[in-house]
Structure 1
């Protein structure tokens, strides 16, 4: 009897978390709710909502980090809304890199298509995991942990990254500190950086304060 009751309760809990609709294609014309985009009326959904063509073209890497990320998140790809998945293209020119950053809303899986990428992350126990990845290699970056990617080869590198969320979020640490109006005196008070270096980095990235 106990096993029967336990199974019944487990089934109810499982059903309570199950999806009651097949999909929730993002309706960009409707108001957003607490969970994100509203669902498009099923009668207005077409096959095009489930197809994204934007990852075939190389991103523009003529910038300070010599890198480009082309996202296919819920804001660009309505079909992934509510499914807990998304994907992006990562282009790295020679010496290009993605600075230390986090995705607060998702874990990440990276697969190298071309070139050589040095990638790694830091655990919450301050253990560093770094690996050189070649064509066909795959690496996972757990949700919320600080990580990076560097083109360690001599030619362009290409990778595709998938996420366990339709909107993984992004915070680049250097940008948070030096591209914002975070006051210099507070940065120096909460880091081991001196004011001259902070001001120099703010000048490079366009920050103030």
Structure 2
């Protein structure tokens, strides 16, 4: 697509490689056997293989993810705005579920070999119930499904959403909101100091 009044060409997607330069290696990805680092607060790590890591999926409408779980690790509530997901347990026992747009929860216990579908754009999660590591693989119906973490989208924005909005929306006091901000985005606190509705109005 060409921008009006400009010589700049903007492409929504990725350009294809010259067919004369294509080899079998363009269709292979050989690093999915490496476990993700689960040494973090959630005890889980999602290794995504989409168009950004694997150009071979360009125009194919597919992507994959490897999800490693430490004991009792959690793949936090999140959604994929551009693709549905089919999730398969390779090792371990997990509690998993998703929430519909009418706030109905569908949840279940998954064991080795079980498969579940998470519809596009619905919030979902997985929790390792075991005392040992767990592993799952998932596929997406998009080469670039995206991921939006629920907590981060509220408490880790840059700049922060105004406390007036969050205190009223969650029906808690400002101290609780500040504590949540510090948990999810400590590096952003100084950036947002002093933000208020009055200050925003004065800038208009």
Length-normalised TM-score, structure 2? 0.83
Q: Choose which of 53, 67, 88 in structure 1 pairs with 2:44.
A: 67
3-state SS, counterpart of residue 71 of structure 1: strand
Q: Choose which of 30, 37, 53 in structure 1 pairs with 2:30.
A: 53
Shift in alpha-carbon separation, 1:32–1:51, aligned structure 2, 3 A = farther
Whole-angstrom CA distance in 2 between matches of 1:37 and 1:169: 15
Q: Which residue number in structure 1 is paired with residue 161 of structure 2?
A: 182
Whole-angstrom CA distance in 2 between matches of 1:104 and 1:186: 24
Q: Which residue number in structure 2 is paired with residue 205 of structure 1?
A: 184
CA contact (8 A) 1:107 1:144 kept: yes
Whole-angstrom CA distance in 2 between matches of 1:60 and 1:38: 32
Q: What is the number of residues matched between the two proteins?
A: 178
Q: Which residue number in structure 1 is paired with residue 11 of structure 2?
A: 33
Shift in alpha-carbon separation, 1:153–1:73, aligned structure 2, 3 A = same
Q: Which residue number in structure 1 is paired with residue 85 of structure 2?
A: 108
Q: Which residue number in structure 2 is paired with residue 156 of structure 1?
A: 133
Q: Structure 1: which 5+ residue stretches go unaligned?
A: 1-30
Q: Choose which of 58, 62, 69 in structure 2 pairs with 1:81.
A: 58
Single out whichever of 44-53 and 178-187 deviates more from structure 2.
Answer: 178-187
Q: Which residue number in structure 2 is paired with residue 96 of structure 1?
A: 73
Q: Which residue number in structure 1 is paired with residue 199 of structure 2?
A: none
CA contact (8 A) 1:54 1:72 kept: no
Kindly indicate whether residue 122 of structure 2 is the aligned counterpart of residue 168 of structure 1: no
Whole-angstrom CA distance in 2 between matches of 1:37 and 1:58: 28
Moved over 3 A (4+): none
Query: Residues 30-74 of structure 1, C-alpha deviation per residue, up to 9 Å, x if partnerless?
Result: x8612x111111111111111111210100011111110111100
3-state SS, counterpart of residue 168 of structure 2: helix
Whole-angstrom CA distance in 2 between matches of 1:150 and 1:194: 29
Q: Choose which of 175, 183, 187 in structure 2 pairs with 1:196.
A: 175
Q: Which residue number in structure 1 is paired with residue 5 of structure 2?
A: none
Q: Structure 2: which 5+ residue stretches go unaligned?
A: 1-8, 193-204
